[in-house]
Amino acid sequence: MTLFHRLGLAAPIAQALAEEKYITPTPIQTEAIPHVLAGRDLVGVAQTGTGKTAAFALPILHHLVSRRFRPERRHCRVLVLSPTRELSGQILESFKTYGRHVRPTVALVIGGVPINRQVRALSNGVDVLVATPGRLLDLMQSQAVKLDRVEVLVLDEADRMLDMGFIHDIRAIVAKLPAERQTLFFSATMPDEIEKLAAKLLRDPIRVAVTPSAKTADRINQRVIHVDRNGKNALLAEVLRDEATGRTLVFTRTKRGADRVVKSLASAGIHAEAIHGNKSQNQRERVLASFREGRLRTLIATDIAARGIDVDGITHVVNFDLPNIADSYVHRIGRTARAGAEGIAISFCDHEERAYLRDIEKLIRAPIEATDRRGNSQPRPQQAFQPHEQHRPHGSHQKKKHHRSRNHRGGEQGNGHHAHGRPAHGEGRPQTRSAGEQSVPRESHRGTDLNGVAFLHRKRDHRAAHGRSDGRTDGPNGARRHSR
């Protein structure tokens, strides 16, 4: 096994890693660090949880140690762009942690907090600037920061940046960077648009891909529970009470949904808090800190808010709503089983989410063990790939019924920036959920359920008859994404 000292990182960095008890580099670190140290551009196909932050932060710190000089006023030497405030904050913390003996000057530029402090932080110049694109553009426009001396550019979670409509901002930022630079480009997925963007930004890049979907999934016990929509709240309370849940992250599709779950759990006597884009930065930080420190056991989050959450020791991820984009499922469950640990992912699937489940199973190339908790029926495992459904032409139902255009994805802006007509915080139509919660029978029996299939088809017919074809993506609509 490769150990960190074999990578030849400068002594102050190696010391910090030893203090952090990092002994073995993760695969992305083993593969990427030597190339980055050699000055190569890099495309890293890796998700959060793989150790990708250190994969770029460590060689960058090494670069700063090897070439020490003061950055010019209002300039930065390293620019890291990330889609959300939380992720940006985590990246900055990583630079501080790994660089505690290097002591680079750092600044964080994100929306939702006063700009003046950021202007001041940049006035003397910094080694490392971590930024969300919108706020950075504001600061560039007011000449508070200049990028013509950037030596290293990192684009983190490029696919998510594109999803969030940051492509124009990124282009505008990159236009101000010197052509002579090192560029490190990380993305969990590499759809065509991302490949195109990478081809424009990078020069003869090394490509490093780790396959955490399979690797992470191997260490995660995944289960799906079929449940009626209005039975989800009671089921969540039951899971939180009965499973040996430790630190648990619960995902909802919308911000409102997250708040509703908090309320419903409170009425069941379970304390939880929500983190999402409508909360102030202070609130988010407070909630995250208590989750990280173990004072808060259950955190409810939307996808975007959770994107930057870097908390180890999450034992359970619960998908209260299934994500309508299969990749998000992999991102979500990757929150548990971090850095080699094991974890449990439980997904609630109501009848309207069945198509999402099929997409997810296709992506992870495996059926997920399922139990049925619909109605008052006895729980029973289901065949994850229903024979009826396999015979349907690929995607024919779901593509029509669920507009899977990225424009309709749930989500929220990461930086509170209003440029280009993007709202700072968006939330679409709230989910309808009946007030009365059904009591859910406890899991006891097991058997094969084929009735579920008939049920599902009836419901589809009903949906078709009522013209329900919106895929229930309760997040902000396409208006906020201007380029897709």
Where on the chain is the footprint of ligand AMP (CB under 6 A)?
Answer: 22, 24-26, 29, 48-54, 310, 312, 338-339
**Least distance (Å) between residue 47 CB and ligand AMP:** 7
Longest dimension (CA), the chain: 70
Give, as one character, the DSSP assignment of residue 377.
P
**Least distance (Å) between residue 283 CB and ligand AMP:** 23
Beta strand pairing call for 247-251 and 298-301? parallel
**Least distance (Å) between residue 312 CB and ligand AMP:** 5
Question: What whole-number distance in Å separates Cα of residue 413 and Cα of residue 165?
Answer: 9
Strand order in the sheet with 247-251: 273-275, 298-301, 247-251, 314-319, 343-349, 220-226, 369-372, 380-382
Nearer to ligand AMP, 7 or 237 (CB): 7
Nearer to ligand AMP, 213 or 264 (CB): 213
Nearer to ligand AMP, 46 or 239 (CB): 46
Question: What whole-number distance in Å separates Cα of residue 68 and Cα of residue 270?
Answer: 52
* For the chain, counts of helices (H) and of strands (E): 19, 15
Beta strand pairing call for 42-45 and 314-319? unpaired
Contacts of 445 (CB under 8 A, 6+ apart): 378, 379, 380
Residue 64 neighbours by CB distance under 10 Å: 25
C-alpha 316, offset from chain centre: 16
**Least distance (Å) between residue 54 CB and ligand AMP:** 5
Nearer to ligand AMP, 312 or 369 (CB): 312
**Least distance (Å) between residue 186 CB and ligand AMP:** 9
**Least distance (Å) between residue 81 CB and ligand AMP:** 16
Nearer to ligand AMP, 178 or 313 (CB): 313
Q: Name the residue among 79, 61, 69, 208 with its Cα closest to residue 133.
A: 79
Q: Name the residue among 97, 89, 37, 92 with its Cα closest to residue 64.
A: 37
**Least distance (Å) between residue 426 CB and ligand AMP:** 26
Nearer to ligand AMP, 125 or 343 (CB): 343
Tell me how far CA of residue 220 lies from CA of 115, 315, 337, 361, in angstroms: 41, 10, 6, 14
With vertex at residue 384, the alpha carbon angle to CA 473 and CA 329, rounded to the nearest 5 degrees, is 40
Nearer to ligand AMP, 7 or 272 (CB): 7
Q: Name the residue among 413, 401, 405, 212 with its Cα closest to residue 303.
A: 413
Q: What is the DSSP track for 309-368?
A: ---S-EEEEEESS--SSHHHHHHHHTTSSGGG--EEEEEEE-GGGHHHHHHHHHHHTSPP
**Least distance (Å) between residue 87 CB and ligand AMP:** 9
Question: What whole-number distance in Å separates Cα of residue 220 and Cα of residue 95?
Answer: 29
Question: What whole-number distance in Å separates Cα of residue 475 and Cα of residue 258?
Answer: 12
Nearer to ligand AMP, 247 or 406 (CB): 247
Give, as one character, the DSSP assignment of residue 72.
P
**Least distance (Å) between residue 462 CB and ligand AMP:** 43
**Least distance (Å) between residue 129 CB and ligand AMP:** 18
First CA to last CA distance, the chain: 44
**Least distance (Å) between residue 310 CB and ligand AMP:** 5
Nearer to ligand AMP, 94 or 371 (CB): 94
Nearer to ligand AMP, 49 or 379 (CB): 49
Question: What whole-number distance in Å separates Cα of residue 431 and Cα of residue 446?
Answer: 31
Residue 47, φ and ψ in degrees, nearest 5 = -95, 170
Nearer to ligand AMP, 10 or 261 (CB): 10
